[in-house]
A and B are shown apart, each in its own frame.
Chain A
Amino acid sequence: MKNNFFEVLRAGINSTFQDQGRENFYHIGLPFSGAMDNRNFVISNALVNNEDNQGVIEFAYQGPLFEFNGENISFSITGDVKFKIIKKDNTIINGECYKSYILNHKDKLDIISTNKSIYGYLAVSGGFSLDKILNSYSTFTRANVGPFDGKKLFLKQKILINKINPQLQSKQVKYLNSKIEYIRILKGTNYDYFSKEGIDNFLKKEFVVTKLTDRMGMRIEGPKIENIKEKNIRSEGIVKGAIQIPPDGNPIIMLSDHGTIGGYPKIGVVISADYDKLVQFVPNSKIKFKLIDLHEAEKLYKLYSLETENLLNQVK
């Protein structure tokens, strides 16, 4: 029996295998990793009938170009993504996100780029045939942890796809990746390290996302946030979404591949409900923060989870 597989004809800028992330290894220096935008990740799997923690390919900006070999599979792409299918006879289908398509032997899938966002997701019916590393399909390139020795996708790579009978009927869901006006945060454990004016600046003025933004962290620039206590703290554990202020005063927001220990004061932490939106901010976009309390953050997370559930129920 012949295998189903993708051959990589172009790897894209930062294409990796991801799932919901890797738990319980912070203490040895491994972050969660996992899909940056969790909602788009789970929808991609639902559109091809996969269980919700199947491994997918996450891409950033320019995505990969594949040639498919084998018997029919269905696939879906989520996010805000421009892509096309090039059939064996060279006819071209311009793809739409949040909809499943069939690929036949020798069809090509060209994931051209994300639009005004960073990350998109590709799921295939049955999932990719991968080994879990430390309980997860997620890739953490910095420590070579993940499928294919934790590497990004590479040219001429063959990626096996599990064989199942794909659903031939297209599935879809209506979803708009809406923008939000504010990223909501909770007070960090070192909130009182900063001057009143510094905190006012942080909460009332605009920041700009810089080019130094990747799966590890997002550096932003804006008005001065003056530290009136200690510029460094004793290194301690940190979490994704934490906003650190290093001595140069420019905030760094920890993202899914962050170092597990940090030594800079934390002014705030982004609420879980806003994380998917945060990671999609492209360099040069403007960002504003709003301080809320824990009770509100928990309510917003319930709402976020409910919305995701509803979307999954609407997949048909």
Chain B
Amino acid sequence: MVKNILNLGDAAIYYDFGDQINIETNRKVINYFNSLKNLNLEEITNITPSYNKLIISFNLKITSFLELKEKIQNIKISTENEKSFKKIKLPICCEDDFFLDKERLTNKLNLSPEEILKKFLNQEYFCYMTGFIAGMPFMGNIDKDLRIERLKTPRVKVPKGSVGITEQFTNIYTFESPGGWNIIGNTPQRIFDPGNKDKPIMINPGDEVSFFQISKNEYEKLNEK
């Protein structure tokens, strides 16, 4: 299942699940992540799942690469967590103030704004991972006709709540941040809440997300940010 195990520095283990970026590989990563997390090992300080990798950070004071690698190599992998995957529906406003890359996308994709939105809203997106900035979900896969590269020059500030697309993926900027994804709209929903101790984030790896369109008026009413 794991293709390769390396050290990443002296305080992390790097698990490579292979080159394929698809839901099947990602589920293996997430199942491993959850199984390891449930063991609550004191020496593990962080576990970071991504499309096809798992990084396990550990406390070098109490263990080492070889020792921990040995210890977790044959843990039992449970698929139990798959039962807790949620389906989430999020409001999105795609009016001009929020559809920042309307012109670029219509030109590059050769589609009308209506066609772009129809294709985007028509799909459920699987959350592969969260991170980079707090709570940001990396989701896919978007319609083949919408696939486009990142902006040549990233924006210095992408507004909070922006929904972006690039390649086969879509994401949500949970905080104002620099970024190079093509912005298609904005959600008023708060995705990350540090005050919520049990569930600071709304979208977890494995969840499926779909968007429904709202007007600017509705956006203002729903705005939680």
Residues of chain A whose beta carbon lies under 8 Å from any beta carbon of chain B: 23-30, 32, 133-134, 140, 142-145, 150, 186, 188-189, 234-239, 241-242, 259-261, 266, 269-272, 294, 297-298, 301, 305
CB pair A143 B11 closer than 8 Å = no
Q: How far is the CB of B99 from chain A (nearest CB, A)?
A: 25
CB pair A239 B12 closer than 8 Å = yes
Q: Which residues of B contact A186 (CB under 8 A)?
A: 7, 9-10
CB pair A236 B46 closer than 8 Å = no
Q: Which residues of B contact A143 (CB under 8 A)?
A: 133-135, 174-175, 192, 194
Q: How far is the CB of A247 from chain B (nearest CB, A)?
A: 11
CB pair B49 A27 closer than 8 Å = yes
How far, in whole Å, are A144 and B225 apart by their CA atoms in the complex?
12
Residues of chain B whose beta carbon lies under 8 Å from any beta carbon of chain A: 6-12, 14, 21, 33, 44-55, 57, 60-61, 64-65, 129-136, 138, 174-175, 177, 192, 194, 197, 200-201, 205
CB pair B50 A23 closer than 8 Å = no
How far, in whole Å, are A26 and B36 apart by their CA atoms in the complex?
14
Please name 12 pairs of A and B residues whose Cβ atoms are closer than 8 Å in the assembled complex, sorted by A. Answer: A27-B46, A134-B197, A144-B194, A145-B134, A186-B9, A234-B50, A236-B50, A239-B55, A261-B50, A261-B132, A294-B65, A301-B10
How far, in whole Å, are A312 and B214 apart by their CA atoms in the complex?
59
CB pair B130 A27 closer than 8 Å = yes
Known: A134-B197, A142-B134. A237 touches B9 (CB 8 A): no
Which B residue sits closest to A241, measured CB to CB? B9
Which A residue sits closest to B199, measured CB to CB? A28
Q: Which residues of B contact A25 (CB under 8 A)?
A: 46, 200
CB pair A189 B14 closer than 8 Å = yes
Q: How far is the CB of A265 from chain B (nearest CB, A)?
A: 13
Q: 3 closest Cβ contacts across the A-B interface?
A: A237-B48, A269-B9, A237-B55
Which B residue sits closest to A266, measured CB to CB? B8
CB pair B53 A236 closer than 8 Å = yes
Known: A29-B134, A143-B133, A272-B11. A237 touches B49 (CB 8 A): yes
Q: Which residues of A contact B129 (CB under 8 A)?
A: 27, 235, 261
Q: How far is the CB of A147 from chain B (nearest CB, A)?
A: 11
How far, in whole Å, are A168 and B10 apart by their CA atoms in the complex?
42
Q: How far is the CB of A307 from chain B (nearest CB, A)?
A: 13
Q: Which residues of A contact B10 (CB under 8 A)?
A: 186, 269, 271-272, 294, 297-298, 301
Q: How far is the CB of A311 from chain B (nearest CB, A)?
A: 16
The one of B6, B7, B61, B201 that contacts A305, using a Cβ cutoff of 8 Å: B61
Q: Which residues of B contact A305 (CB under 8 A)?
A: 61
CB pair B134 A237 closer than 8 Å = no
Q: Which residues of B contact A298 (CB under 8 A)?
A: 10, 60, 64-65
> Which residue of A142, A189, A242, A259 has the most chain B CB atoms within 10 A of its CB atom?
A189
How far, in whole Å, are A301 and B194 apart by their CA atoms in the complex?
33
Which A residue sits closest to B138, measured CB to CB? A235
How far, in whole Å, are A242 and B10 apart by their CA atoms in the complex?
11
CB pair B132 A260 closer than 8 Å = yes
Known: A26-B46, A298-B64, A305-B61. A239 touches B130 (CB 8 A): no
How far, in whole Å, are A171 and B200 apart by their CA atoms in the complex?
41
Query: Known pairs A133-B194, A261-B48. 4 more at Cβ < 8 A?
Result: A27-B129, A29-B131, A237-B131, A239-B9
Q: Which residues of B contact A26 (CB under 8 A)?
A: 46-48, 55, 57, 131
Q: Which residues of A contact B205 (CB under 8 A)?
A: 27
How far, in whole Å, are A194 and B30 apart by their CA atoms in the complex?
31
Q: How far is the CB of A229 from chain B (nearest CB, A)?
A: 13
Known: A186-B9, A261-B129. A28 touches B135 (CB 8 A): yes
Q: How far is the CB of A141 from chain B (nearest CB, A)?
A: 10
Which A residue sits closest to B203, measured CB to CB? A28
How far, in whole Å, are A206 and B14 apart by their CA atoms in the complex?
29
CB pair B60 A134 closer than 8 Å = no
The one of A28, A150, A259, A272 that contacts B60, using a Cβ cutoff of 8 Å: A272
Q: How far is the CB of A246 from chain B (nearest CB, A)?
A: 11
How far, in whole Å, are A145 and B8 apart by their CA atoms in the complex?
27
The one of A27, A29, A235, A271 that contacts B33, using a Cβ cutoff of 8 Å: A27
Q: How far is the CB of B218 from chain A (nearest CB, A)?
A: 26
Q: How far is the CB of B42 from chain A (nearest CB, A)?
A: 10
CB pair A29 B53 closer than 8 Å = no
Q: Which residues of B contact A241 (CB under 8 A)?
A: 9
Q: Which residues of B contact A235 (CB under 8 A)?
A: 50-51, 129, 132, 138
Q: How far is the CB of A230 from chain B (nearest CB, A)?
A: 12
Q: Which residues of A contact B49 (CB under 8 A)?
A: 27, 237
CB pair B134 A269 closer than 8 Å = no
Which B residue sits closest to A263, measured CB to CB? B132
> Which residue of B33, B60, B134, B138 has the most chain A CB atoms within 10 A of its CB atom?
B134
CB pair A271 B9 closer than 8 Å = yes
Q: How far is the CB of A240 from chain B (nearest CB, A)?
A: 9
How far, in whole Å, are A140 and B200 apart by their CA atoms in the complex?
15
Q: Which residues of B contact A238 (CB under 8 A)?
A: 48, 55
